[in-house]
């Protein structure tokens, strides 16, 4: 088994595609209209679906408002330079909701940006204590 995708309902597909593709650097992998169901699906990601988990952006035609709810948390993306990434996002018109810095009660360096729908995207500085890449490096050192 493997994780295939996460679906987000979006109120403006074009604004969402600009954010995920132009601001965060993902690629539009495929997009299809479903006239019988009055919706469009767009899949975006950093690699092909055969090898990577991706985001499915669902636009329900004529539906321009959603309640985000309090159960949803965020999407997380690992980055090599969190400060430079936040500056680039800001320069491209993206909203940095939490500036880079250590997480509360920990040492992993994180930041949060917000997409046009209000969804949070966590940026995690790779290689900092507590980050996934730090754990992978420690695990591979323990094996050798």
C-alpha to C-alpha distance for 77 and 66, rounded to whole angstroms: 24
Give the strand pairing for 75-79 and 120-125: parallel
| Residues 6+ away with beta carbon under 8 Å from 137 | 127
The pLDDT, as a whole number, for residue 1 is 87
Please report, rounded to a whole number, the percentage of residues in the chain having pLDDT higher than 90: 78
CATH of the domain at 46: 3.10.180.10
The pLDDT, as a whole number, for residue 103 is 93
Average pLDDT of the chain is 90
The pLDDT, as a whole number, for residue 144 is 39
Q: Which of 1-5, 84-88, 129-133 has the highest mean pLDDT?
A: 84-88
* Chain segment 87-114, per-residue pLDDT in tens: 999 999 999 999 999 998 888 999 999 9
Identify the domain boundary among 9, 29, 64: 64
Say if residue 57 is in the same domain as residue 80: no
Q: Are 114 and 60 in contact (CB under 8 A)?
A: no
Q: Considering its fold, how many domains does the chain have in total?
A: 2
This prediction's pTM: 0.82
CA distances to 14, 70, 81 from 42, in Å: 10, 25, 28
* Chain segment 117-132, per-residue pLDDT in tens: 999 999 999 987 666 6
Catalytic site positions: 122
How many of the other CB atoms lie within 10 Å of CB of 76? 14
Identify the domain boundary among 64, 81, 115: 64
Assigned domain for 141 exists: no
The two structure tokens encoding residue 131: 């980050």
Q: Is the pLDDT of residue 133 over 50?
A: yes
Report the candidate in 58, 108, 56, 111 with the shortest Cα–Cα distance to residue 89.
111
Structural domain boundaries, residue 37: 1-64
* Chain segment 56-75, per-residue pLDDT in tens: 999 999 998 898 888 889 99
């Amino acid at each position: 088994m493997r994780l295939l995708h996460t679906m987000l309902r979006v109120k403006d597909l074009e604004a969402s595609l600009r954010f995920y593709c132009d601001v965060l650097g993902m690629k539009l992998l495929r997009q299809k209209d479903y006239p019988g169901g009055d919706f469009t699906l767009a899949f975006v990601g950093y690699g092909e679906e055969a090898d990577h988990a991706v985001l499915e952006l669902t636009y329900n035609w004529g539906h321009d408002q959603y309640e985000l709810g309090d159960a949803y948390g965020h999407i997380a993306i690992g980055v090599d330079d969190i400060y430079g990434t936040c500056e680039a996002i800001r320069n491209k018109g993206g909203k940095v909701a939490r500036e880079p810095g250590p997480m509360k009660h920990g040492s992993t360096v994180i930041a949060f940006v917000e997409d046009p729908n209000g969804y949070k995207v966590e940026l995690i500085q790779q290689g900092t204590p507590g980050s996934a890449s730090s754990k992978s490096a420690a695990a591979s050192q323990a094996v050798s």
